[in-house]
A = this chain, B = another copy of it.
Amino acid sequence: MSRKHDHPCAIAEALNILGDRWTLLIIREAFYGATRFGEFLTNTGISRNLLTERLSQLVEADILERTPFADRGTSHAYALTVKGRALDTVVMALTEWGNSYLYGDGKEPVLARDKASGEIIRRIEPVTSDGQIIARQNIVIEAGPGGDGRTLSRISKAKSYPFAE
């Protein structure tokens, strides 16, 4: 993942960090409580050299924080930062999509449950600042303040309501 996307788009920039086969698996493990090199290694199946590289990229990107481990050897703990924990929606959205469309109801290997309602979590939704769910047909895409000419031409043909139906 050396060549990087260079156009003004949050997804492109995010993929410069997350866009490979392993990085989101490492982040998943971090959410599940893994902190040590060996835990990431065995729980994901990544090779040692790549894990070394990915962990340092994630530290560099301020998604994981590396702190010396008191107890043993040359150990360090890798823990999610605030920026890393903000990826919870990405992790949940991928989990939900994979469970629904790659495994299917009744075949999910791992589930997220809401302890309050007891329900399995099956919906991830955009909401307003006061917590109202935003209907897909009301969502429009527009150029933001950081956009440039290329951005405009890229999204100008976007459907008015790209996520509707």
Which residues from chain A sit less than 8 Å from chain B, CB to CB? 1, 3, 5, 7-16, 18-22, 24-25, 28, 31-34, 39, 43, 45, 83, 85-103, 106-117, 119, 121-129, 131-136, 138-148, 151, 154-155, 157-159, 162-163, 165
Contacts and interface: CB of A to CB of B under 8 A. Distances in A.
Given A10-B109, A33-B158, A128 B134 contact: no
Contacts of A132: 117
Question: Among A11, A111, A143, A165, which residue has the most Cβ atoms of chain B within 10 A?
Answer: A11
6 contacts: A19-B21, A20-B21, A32-B157, A85-B165, A111-B143, A114-B126
A123 to B, nearest CB: 5
Contacts of A113: 139-142
A17 B143 CA distance: 29
A5 B26 CA distance: 13
Contacts of A129: 119, 122-123
A29 to B, nearest CB: 8
Contacts of A8: 109-110
A15 B24 contact: yes
A24 B155 CA distance: 16
Contacts of A93: 89-90, 92-93, 124
Contacts of A111: 141-144
A94 B144 CA distance: 16
Nearest to A158: B32
Question: Among A31, A32, A92, A116, which residue has the most Cβ atoms of chain B within 10 A?
Answer: A92
